[in-house]
Structure formats: structure tokens, C-alpha cells
Amino acid sequence: MKVVTILGARPQFVKAAAVSRAFNEYPNIKEVIVHTGQHFDANMSEVFFTEMGIPKPDYNLQINSLGHGAMTGRMLEEIEKILIDEKPKYVVVYGDTNSTIAGALAAKKLHISLVHIEAGLRSFNMEMPEEINRILTDRISDILFCPTETAINNLEAEGYANIDTEIVQCGDVMEDVALHYNKLVGNDDVLLNALKIESGKFVLCTMHRQENTDDPATLKRILTSLHAINEIYPVVMPIHPRTAKKIADLGLEIHFKTVEPLGYFDMIRLIRNSKIVLTDSGGLQKEAYFFEKFCITLREQTEWVELVNNGFNKIVGSNQDALMEAFDHFKNKSFEKGTSLYGDGKASSVIAKRISQE
């Protein structure tokens, strides 16, 4: 049984590491990997295939640095050609990127069964391109693998009981990845010493979303807050190329430590040694939880509402007062994880078993 997996953005590489490993347990599954090239920097794609043991992509489309329409259109065109040649039983897409919707449209127009991993998530903000991508992908998928009960409830509220699709609550593949690779990551001291930071005494921050980087006033507010936090605990930011460019274009100063984008193992080292995590990334919000760190989210909404409802995450957007209040709330608070919110680390096995059955 041939399965074509569409990958393109950094978080998808991480998720694919777990699912591809689970596919290997079933001799009847042959996986063909298509890398759209959406993230093309070596530090943001190739390192994952090398470091995490993900099979090298069979195709690399090298489509990047374009607007949403041009990027999605070119991906759709090229993916369609591959699907016509490969004739898979399933196309698997992850998450909510341009690569996701392009792969989904190509599959359905060729009447190929479509599998969406990380389905049912909603931010309820239609100004986010990711929200558009995930809603449309869910609607045309044949199998929806949902990470949480919240995701199931979202689909039910949208009338999916009346839509001919299979809905499976499988848990979150990101937890599979975190549990697996946490055991393999070695000594943290080399990275911490290189960055001149101490375990438990720094704040880890990532920021890449357009709503934070493209509006100068928003970007300035966030940087001002980060500078204030840096006076209390050093801030370390693996800086996204777009974020770095926007800051440079505006002539803004950075008074905290920045580093080039890191591989997944080094990110694990930073997460598990940090005091608090600040991010606008969906994946890092969960990874903070997996490694028992409180998270402050630089967005107005989150798909991971259970983290907020259980007190592990605070949503602050770019509000400086809210950000500092959240930081003060978390900085001396003990993390008590309790029952896992995202399954038991076996989501990938559930997905592979289901796909292998036909």
C-alpha cells in the first residue's frame, strides 16, 4: 500500500519522524515523502532528516519565498504530477500550512483518499492563513486524526456528523516525538556553555507569525517586553529568518541573546533547561507542556485551549502589561502536570495501524 506524505514546514518534519517510524512496523505500507521546500534553509529542514532519522524525501520541489497564492498554486501543480505518477492509496498531510492545503487539494481532485493528521483544531481567527488551511483540509479529508477531545468537539459543532469522513481521536504525535527523542538527547552542558546560560535561569522565546512580525507597532511592543524580561532572566531567541529581517528593516535594536534556528535536539535542550517559554508557535506551546514548562503565548488565540484551561499557558498577544503579568505569575510557580492532556505517546501507532488496515 503506497502512502504519499506531504511535508514542507518545520513542525511537519517533527511529526513525520514519529509517524514514519510507525509506518515501518507494517511491511504492507510503502511511504513516499514529498518535501515541498516551503522551509528551505538547511537549519530548518535538512537537519531534521539527518538528526531525527526521517527518511530522505523522494521528491524536493524547492518551492518557497512566494506569496500565499503563488506558493500554494505551484505546490498544487507539482504535487499533482507526482500523485499521477505514484498512484498512492493515501495522501497524508499534517497541520495547517500552504503545503497542507496544496497536498489536500491535489489528492482530492485526483480522487485519492486524504488523511489529515492534527485535524479539528481551531483558533477561530479567520485572519490567520493557518485557520483557513486547516478548515478547508478537514472538510475534504477522508480520515481525520484528532489529537484531543477539544478537536473532536470542534468537528461535531461544525456538523461533521453529516459529512462522510472518519474521525479518530488518536492523541498528539508531538508527544510521541518528545518522549522518544528526550531519551536520545545527550549532555546539555555544551549548548548551555556555548550560549553562556544556566539551567533554569533563562527564558526561551520564539516568534515568527505574521501578526507579530509584519506590524511594526506590534513587533516593537513585544521587543520592549522581552527587553524588560531580559533584565530579570536572560532571554534566548532562536530567531526565524523573517523575524530577523523585519527587525533589521525597521532598524530596531535587540538587547537579548539571539541564535540561528536550531535543530530539534538543541531545541529540546533549551526547552527542558528553560525557566519559562514565550512563543507564537503552536507546536512549542505543547512542547513546553511535555517538558513541564509554563508557556506565555504571543497570540490572541490558541488551538490548544486545554493548556490555558488547565493553567499551563497564558494568552497575552502583544499586550505588554498582560505579558509581564503572566511572567510574574509563572516565574515562581511550581509545575504540576498530572494527567496527560495529549494521550499516552502512542498516537503514531494508532495512525499507522488504521492506515495499514486497507
**Residues known to be catalytic:** 208
What beta strand segments (E) does 280-357 contain?
A: 295-297, 313-315
Contact 268/192 with Cβ under 8 angstroms? no
What beta strand segments (E) does the chain contain?
A: 2-7, 30-35, 59-60, 90-94, 113-117, 143-146, 166-169, 203-206, 235-238, 257-259, 276-279, 295-297, 313-315
Q: How far is CA 311 from CA 252, 270, 289, in A?
A: 34, 22, 11
Residue 42: all three cell numbers together: 538547511
Q: Is 218 helix (H, G, I), strand (E, B) or coil?
A: helix
Cα 247–99–4 angle (5° rounding)? 145
Ramachandran angles phi, psi of 93, nearest 5°: -125, 155
Longest Cα–Cα distance in the chain = 58
Separation between Cα atoms, residue 43 and residue 168, nearest integer Å:
34
